[in-house]
Amino acid sequence: MKFRKGLKIMSLAAAAAVLCGSLVGCENGGGSTSSNGKTQISVAGWPSKEGKDKENMEAKKARFEEANPEFEIVPDNWSFDLKSFYPKAAGGQLPTVYGTHFTEVSQIIAAGYSADITEQLKKDGLYDKFNPQVLDLVSKDGKVYAFPYATYALGLAFNVDMMEAAGLMEADGTPKQPKDWYEVAEFAVKIKEATGNPGFVFPSANNNGGWIFTPVAWSFGVDFMEKGSDGKWKAIFDSPEATEALQFIKDLKWKYDVLPANTLIDGTEYYKIFGTGGAGIQITAGDVPSKLTQYGMQPEQFGMMAMPAGPKRHVTLMGGSIQAVSNKATDKQIEGSLKWLETSYTPEATDEYKKNTETDIDRRLEKNELIGIKSMSIWNTDSEAVKFSHKLIDEKTNANPNHVKLYNDFVADLGDCKLRPEEPVCAQELYGILDGCIQEVLTNKDADCAALLKKACSDFQVNYLDNLDY
Amino acid sequence: MSSTDSNTIELRKRMKRKSSFRNDLDAWILFLPSVLVLFLMIWRPTVLGAVWSFFKMNAYTPGDFCGFDNFRKVVTHTQFLPTLWNTVQYVLWSLILGYLPPVLIAVLINEMVHFNNGFRVTIYLPAVIPGIAAMLMWYYIYYPDQTGLLNMVLVKLGMEPFAWLNNPTFVIPGIMIYSTWKGFAGTMLLYYASVQSVSVELYEAALIDGAGIWKRAWHVTKPQLEGILLLCLVNQIIGVFQIMEQPLAMTGGGPNGASISLGYQLYQYGFNSGGKGTGQAMALGVIVFLILMVMTVFYFWLNKRVEDRY
């Protein structure tokens, strides 16, 4: 009898726990003020493992809270990923500040999950200091919805040992720069002849293929879509230029034979192949070092150079990272969030900025990440902060600076190269469709590039452009 | 009947009702946590998913009622029919590769005199390897260059490496070979339990009549297994129809969409569309649910016919 009574109590307790748990889950992401009256700012991407990273963040938090006693930073270990972001956002569970990439920002803004920070940026005197082209990427209808903090242009990463073996490096460690895509193919052939390894790797899955293919195609003269006078978008990439661009990718496999055997290469596989010495050259952004350390690639083993030109244009894709503030944030939280972000991202070289930048570089050095690549400035004027950061990179570089000289010169002065943002609508869906074309030409020697692109163009129109709110 | 008797009967009835109520209450209290979990994790999302498939979704927040618009977008998507056909191919290949081997092995183990238990455990091992780890293992077994295990063997035999999962014709059978390897042991145990429950006297009688192993399997074992065979057939069809993790982890749906299944497409709508495809994800979920409901009804009808024979 006692046992049954105990069982019943346990059942009721379990039911109550389930109910409470679910109700807590349904609740909005917590209040905005703590019990001591401070405004709470939860910050995503907080290191969960004990160690230097976490200690640095704790120290940064302590300094911030001391300088801004009305705010309290609340660590949140969640980091942005596409799968969990939207469910989390719909449940009102987003941290106050979270980081993401340019590739995702337009969809996040469209879904309304990032707060309008225009007024606060103006109050803080930052609004006019951003590069307008960069700010435009995070704006909608004249309002700014995110804080861009790093921008990169796509360029070419290369394996130093393989380039040396193929005789493609100068004595001082500067690589020879391929002028156009066909010269890239020649470089890749030389690498393969000299090392026996694939000279080039091109992604093809999980939208990565399409993402990398777009700037290549632009340089062949391709335009993917245009807006008609009626305001409707039309897919226009069933063109001879697009056929030529896709034929180039096909030739890398079947004519030059410089690609790896695997033709289903997603983002992870892409960096793994390059990072483990499975390919000599890849197209990538300037943030590539952080993606290669996990494969044991030493800073001296790779470098970067400029994006080559195509037959019609010299163009590259702009990529980068942003910090956004949750749409649930109060005005006070937006104020605190921007104050927090400005400790690391500001045009002025404040003491706090200097401290945080130095700590960040030291942290990356400890991880054996290549220090030497300079990102493009997000500011429209000569920024003291950028000068400080670049000087520090020069001082602390852990590899031959000539390995990345051509890329750094490229992003410092693009010259005739045009910097383009991603395609304006349904970019991810376009990438998915282009992935299919790339996979087909890499697996089928007899694939008809023109026919593939005709179908892809029609599919993109019917499935997405005709259903923009799909 | 005296009034005392009638009062006693009435009292007993009331006591019985009270006791029955108390028993029911006890049962409901014990049942409550499971009901709540089922409600929150299964019933509520299922019903909400079906209801929201008729709404224009803003990521995971329902907006205006849009009728069958999400369904229209799903079925008019140019990849819908190829994806449906891929899914049917997954089912067909799973039946070709994976339906009969568990039965045969169950019968074999049942007939084994020595090493019966050891063999059973060995066969069950793949089922205890975590799914993603096993998929990655097979990803490298199938890896298309000379570092792939199968290609190492081919090269040793003096043959050219094969593209395996990079080959659009092989990709679905290739994934189903993995799935069969991973999942057939569980089904085999079900069959084995059924085979064990077949009366030994029936086998003895068959032996006396001079029946060999195949005749015993056909005339004694098979009739006893028909119910479970049918159940496993429908379970397998329903399970494989929802295949998602394998193409996600092993091929990303490629090459050129050759391994995209309805389940994978649903996942793409739900989690890889930047929140734009959640309405379609729910609509596709309803479509898959309806297809599976038809199969389930068919199963019950078939099951009844099988049971009526005995």
Alpha helices in A91-168 (DSSP H): 102-111, 118-123, 132-137, 160-165
pLDDT at A326: 95
Assigned domain for B238 exists? yes
pLDDT at B271: 86
| More confident call, B81 vs A412 | B81
Mean pLDDT computed over B67-90: 94
Quick check: A379 and A347 in contact, CB under 8 A? yes
Same domain, B146 and B39: no
| Contact call for A8 and B143, based on CB within 8 A | no
Q: Which of A100, A157, A169, A195 is nearest to A299 (CA)?
A: A157
Is B60 within the bounds of a domain? Answer: no
CB-CB contact of A373 with A286 (8 Å): yes
Band of residue A7 on the pLDDT scale cut at 50, 70, 90: low
User: Which residue in chain B is spatially nearest to A83 when comparing CA positions?
Assistant: B271
Pairing of strands B61-65, A71-75: unpaired
Q: Is A274 helix (H, G, I), strand (E, B) or coil?
A: helix
Question: Taking 70 as the threshold, does the pLDDT of residue B26 lie above it?
Answer: yes
pLDDT at A107 (0 to 100)? 83
Average pLDDT of the segment spanning A438-457 = 96
> Beta A147-153 vs A315-325: how paired, if at all?
antiparallel
- Among A112-126, A142-156, A249-263, B222-236, the minimum mean pLDDT is found in B222-236
Q: Where residue A36 falls among pLDDT bands split at 50, 70, 90?
A: confident
User: What average pLDDT score do residues B179-185 get?
Assistant: 91
What pLDDT is stored for residue A22 in this prediction? Answer: 52
Q: Give the count of domains, chain B.
A: 2
Q: Do B38 and B75 reside in the same domain of the chain?
A: no
Is the pLDDT at A24 greater than 60? The verdict is no
Average pLDDT (A368-387) is 88
> Per the domain annotation, does B195 fall within a domain?
yes
- The per-residue pLDDT for A202 is 97
Q: Do A22 and B146 touch (CB under 8 A)?
A: no
- Name the band, by pLDDT with cuts 50, 70 and 90, for residue A26: very low
The structure tokens listed for B81 are: 């029919």
Judge whether A134 and A310 are in contact, CB under 8 Å: no
pLDDT digits (tens, 9 = 90+) for B107-130: 888 877 778 788 888 888 888 999
B247: CATH: 1.10.3720.10
Domain boundaries, chain A: 34-152+321-363, 155-318+406-467
From residue B273, give the alpha-carbon distance in Å to each of A111, A115, A211, B284: 12, 21, 15, 14
Domain for residue B63, yes or no? no
* Residue-by-residue DSSP string for A9-24: HHHHHHHHHHHHHHHH
pLDDT beyond 50 at B214: yes
Q: What is the pLDDT of residue A30?
A: 45
pLDDT of residue A185: 97
| Residue B141 within any structural domain of the chain | yes
Asked if A90 reaches chain B (Cβ–Cβ under 8 Å), the answer is yes
| A140 φ, ψ (degrees, to nearest 5) | -145, 130
**Interatomic CA distance for residues A362 and B144, integer angstroms:** 40
**A75 touching chain B per CB within 8 A:** no
Q: Do A117 and A144 touch, CB atoms closer than 8 A?
A: yes
In a domain, B273, yes or no: yes
| Nearest in space to A356 (alpha carbons), one of A342, A335, A369, A368 | A342
Candidates A93, A422, A469, partner chain B, best to mutate (most B CBs within 10 A): A469
Instruction: Provide the shortest C-alpha distance from residue A258 to chain B (in Å).
Output: 13
Cis ω on the peptide bond leading into residue B255 (within 30° of 0)?
yes
Residue numbers in A near B162 (CB within 8 A): none
Q: Which segment of A15-24, A287-296, B88-97, B292-301 scores lowest on mean pLDDT?
A: A15-24
Based on the domain organization, do B47 and B81 belong to the same domain?
Answer: no
What is the CATH class of A155-318+406-467?
alpha beta
Its ipTM equals: 0.81
Structure tokens at A425: 């609508």
Can you tell me the distance from the alpha carbon of A271 to that of A385, in angstroms, rounded to the nearest whole number?
A: 30
Average confidence (pLDDT) over A178-207: 96
Distance from C-alpha of A204 to C-alpha of A432, rounded to nearest angstrom: 9
DSSP E strand stretches across A23-117:
39-43, 71-75, 97-101
Q: Indicate if B127 and B199 belong to the same structural domain.
A: yes
Q: Could you tell me the residue range of the domain that residue B15 belongs to?
A: 3-52
Mean pLDDT of B4-28: 75
pLDDT digits (tens, 9 = 90+) for A227-243: 999 889 999 999 999 99
Q: Which amino acid is at B80?
A: F
A89 interfacial to chain B (CB closer than 8 Å): yes
Nearest CA in chain A to B30: A11
What are the tens digits of pLDDT across the range A391-404?
Answer: 999 999 999 999 99
pLDDT grade for B207, boundaries at 50, 70 and 90: confident
Residues on chain A touching B160 (C-beta within 8 angstroms): none
Name residues 417-446 of chain A within 8 A of B (Cβ).
428-429, 435-437, 439-440, 442-443
Q: Is the pLDDT of residue A25 over 50?
A: no
Written as one string, the DSSP assignment of A377-388 is PSBSS--HHHHH
Q: Assess B120–A contact: CB distance below 8 Å, yes or no.
A: no
* B268-289 pLDDT per residue, tens: 998 888 778 899 999 999 999 9
Question: Shortest Cα distance from A16 to chain B (angstroms)?
Answer: 8
Residue B1 above 70 pLDDT? no
Neighbours of A379 (CB within 10 A): 19
Say if residue B48 is in the same domain as residue B139: no
Provide the pairing of β-strand A200-201 with A281-284: parallel
What's the rounded Cα separation, in Å, for the pair B50 and B285? 8
Q: Residue A147 in 3-state DSSP?
A: strand
Distance in angstroms (rounded) separating the CA atoms of residues A431 and A204: 9
DSSP letter string, chain B = --HHHHHHHHHHHHHHHHHHHHHHHHHHHHHHHHHHHHIIIIIHHHHHHHHHTTEEEETTEEEEE-TTHHHHHHHHSTTHHHHHHHHHHHHHHHHHHHTHHHHHHHHHHHH--SSHHHHHHHHHHHHHS-HHHHHHHHHHHS-SSTTSHHHHHHHHTTPPP--GGGSTTTHHHHHHHHHHHHHHHHHHHHHHHHHHTS-HHHHHHHHHTT--HHHHIIIIIHHHHHHHHHHHHHHHHHHHHT--HHHHHHTTT-STTTT--HHHHHHHHHHSSTTSSHHHHHHHHHHHHHHHHHHHHHHHHHHHHHHHT-
Q: Please indicate, yes or no, whether residues B228 and B189 belong to a single structural domain of this protein.
A: yes
Same domain (yes/no): B8, B90: no
- How far B110 CA sits from the closest chain A CA (Å)? 41
Residue A3: pLDDT over 80: no
pLDDT of A117 reads 96
Residue A177: left if φ>0, alpha if ψ -120 to 50, beta else—which one?
beta
- At the fourth CATH level, the homologous superfamily of domain A34-152+321-363 is Periplasmic binding protein-like II (3.40.190.10)
Chain A residues 113-142 with a CB less than 8 Å from chain B: 113
Q: Is A266 on the interface with B (CB under 8 A)?
A: yes
Mean confidence (pLDDT) of chain A: 90
Dist CA A149 CA A344 (whole Å)? 9
Name every chain A residue with its beta carbon within 8 A of the beta carbon of B31: 11
- Answer yes or no: do B120 and B175 share one domain: yes
Question: Residue A173: is its pLDDT beyond 90?
Answer: yes
Q: Is the same domain home to B297 and B267?
A: yes
What is the Cβ-side half-sphere exposure of residue B52, based on CA atoms within 13 angstroms? 21
Average pLDDT over residues A157-184: 96
Q: Is residue B45 located within the same domain as residue B73? A: no
Interstrand relation of A71-75 and A39-43 (parallel, antiparallel or unpaired) = parallel
φ, ψ for residue A157, nearest 5 deg: -95, 145
Interchain CB distance below 8 Å, B276 and A107:
yes
Residue B139: predicted pLDDT: 94
Q: Which residue of B has its CA nearest to A90?
A: B60
What residue type is assigned to position B200 of the chain? V
Name the band, by pLDDT with cuts 50, 70 and 90, for residue A28.
very low
Question: In this predicted model, what pLDDT tens digit does every residue of A341-374 receive, in sequence order?
Answer: 998 898 888 898 999 899 999 989 988 999 999 9
Residue A29's pLDDT is what?
Answer: 43
Asked if residue B59 belongs to a domain, the reply is no
Equal fold, A34-152+321-363 vs A155-318+406-467:
yes
What amino acid occupies position A20? C
**What 3-state DSSP class applies to A178?**
coil
Contact A111 B167 (CB under 8 A): no
* pLDDT score of A403: 97
Give tens-digit pLDDT for A95-151: 999 999 888 888 888 888 999 999 999 999 999 999 888 888 899 999 999 999 988
Task: Kindly report the average pLDDT of chain B as a whole number.
Answer: 88
pLDDT at A264: 93
B59 touches chain A (CB under 8 A): yes
Tell whether the model's pLDDT for residue B36 goes beyond 60: yes
Model confidence at B197, pLDDT cuts 50, 70, 90, reads: confident
Q: Are residues B16 and B124 both part of a single domain? A: no
3-state helix/strand/coil string of B100-129: HHHHHHHHHHHHCCCCHHHHHHHHHHHHHC
By C-alpha distance, which of B232, B186, B218 is closest to B107?
B218
Q: How confident is the model at residue A61 (pLDDT cuts 50, 70, 90)?
A: very high
CA dist., res. A210 & res. A464, Å (int): 15
Separation CA A343–CA A52 (nearest Å): 19
A197 touches chain B (CB under 8 A): no
Co-location of B209 and B277 in the same domain: yes
Tell me whether residue B89 is exposed, middle or buried, using C-beta atoms within 10 angstroms of its C-beta: 0 to 12, 13 to 18, 19 or more: middle
Whether A86 sits inside 8 A of B29 (CB atoms) is: no
User: What is the percent of chain B with per-residue pLDDT over 90, rounded to a whole number?
Assistant: 45
